Amino acid sequence: MKRVLLIGTGGTIASQVTDDGLAPELTTEQLLSHLPTVSEICRVECLQLLNLDSTNIAPAHWLEMAKCVREHYEDYDGFVITHGTDTMAYTAAALSYLIQKSPKPIVLTGAQKPMGFDSTDSKVNLTDALRCAAEDLPGVSIVFNGKVILGTRAKKTRSKSFRAFSSINFPELGVLRDGVLLRYIRQSCGARPVFYDTLDPKVALLKLVPGAGREVADFLLSRNDALIIESFGVGGLPEAGGFFECVRDWMDKGKTVVLTTQVENEGSDLGVYHVGHRLKTDLGVLESYDMTTEAVTAKLMWILGRTQDRREVERLFYTPVAGDILWPVESAGQRAPDHGGAR
């Protein structure tokens, strides 16, 4: 029987009612006690790493999670991390970069309703996650509401309903039906995982609104190493307000700027309109294409934790990792080999 390590980090699944609202208080052992039949699926051992509302999760916690998996990697066949839903997609993306090419499953799950509630998705989600962790499901994924989603492609798209997560610009890896994993896509992996242990948390995100000027971008770039700008439609910057000059000035000082889109599906394409074309041809701004904002954020932190060299940053950004980008990227010179994608 497969051995699975259940790593608790908090979240709604572990929450109880307090005078100040829901707060994570249950341990992994207490969560597991609600699943009496799990012993028929796998042998589970518990480890309580954190007990946080996921709003409080930070890059330092991603490093703790990756370190925990690394330290126990040889002892278990798979890993399940219970996590709050609000930042689960960021954590899944971050772990996809910190733990690459893993032949063993690293599954994140959580719930929209706490384990102790009469109406809860906790039991089904945790059971499904443990089942997937005992299967041949390489790499990092989110298992939620019967779906298996690639770690670099997940996004929380519903704030309350059980159908909380969607796979963005990429098919689901599989679904669970009546306790059976039906896999559509198998992630590629290596014989052994590749672990990384550094991140640069100085990555900021700016969401444009009509009429915005450069002041906020200047402020963020003065305090961070990279800025992700969520623009409109397929991408571009307003011609008024000094944005072009702002990006040019800060890139000349060695800062990294990435253009992405506020639109969830289908991605960016800066070359379509005049407001985006010059950013690529004249400035060499990086573009997210079909990547999620969560993946762009985590990938930049991973890259800038390794190098600040502009050409190397660009090369690594456009190198596919764990299926995070599919768009053919001419600005990268040529398609680099995938560091653990999906096939």
pLDDT tens for 106-133 read: 999 999 999 999 999 999 999 999 999 9
Examine the residue annotation and report whether 12 is marked as an active-site residue of this protein: yes
End-to-end CA distance of the chain: 28
DSSP β-bridge partners for residue 88: none
pTM > 0.85? yes
Quick one: DSSP state of residue 294? Answer: H
List the catalytic residue out of 9, 12, 82, 293.
12
Q: Residue 221: pLDDT above 60?
A: yes
Can you list the positions of beta strands (E) in the chain?
A: 3-10, 15-18, 21-24, 43-52, 78-82, 99-100, 105-109, 139-144, 147-150, 154-156, 165-167, 174-177, 180-183, 194-195, 203-207, 226-231, 256-261, 286-287
Q: Is the pLDDT of residue 330 over 80?
A: no
Comparing 329 with 253, the larger pLDDT belongs to 253
Burial class (CB in 10 A: 0-12, 13-18, 19+), 140: buried
pLDDT band at 329 (very low <50, low <70, confident <90, very high): low
Distances (CA, A) of 341 to 5, 103, 244: 24, 12, 34
Beta bridge partners of 17: 22
Average pLDDT of the segment spanning 184-202:
96
User: For residue 328, what pLDDT is reported?
Assistant: 67
User: Given a cut of 60, is residue 19 above it in pLDDT?
Assistant: yes
User: How confident is the model at residue 335, as a pLDDT?
Assistant: 39
Instruction: Tell me the two tokens of residue 246.
Output: 């702002």
pLDDT score, position 280: 87
Average pLDDT of the residues of the chain: 94
Query: Considering the domain 203-332, what is its CATH architecture?
Result: 3-Layer(aba) Sandwich (3.40)
Q: Thinking of the domain 3-195, which architecture would CATH place it in?
A: 3-Layer(aba) Sandwich (3.40)
pLDDT given for residue 327 in this prediction: 81
Q: What was the pLDDT predicted at 332?
A: 43
pLDDT average, residue stretch 314-324: 96
CATH 3.40.50.40 intervals, the chain = 203-332
Chain position carrying tokens 């990086």 = 286
pLDDT of residue 340: 54
CATH 3.40.50.1170-classified regions of the chain:
3-195
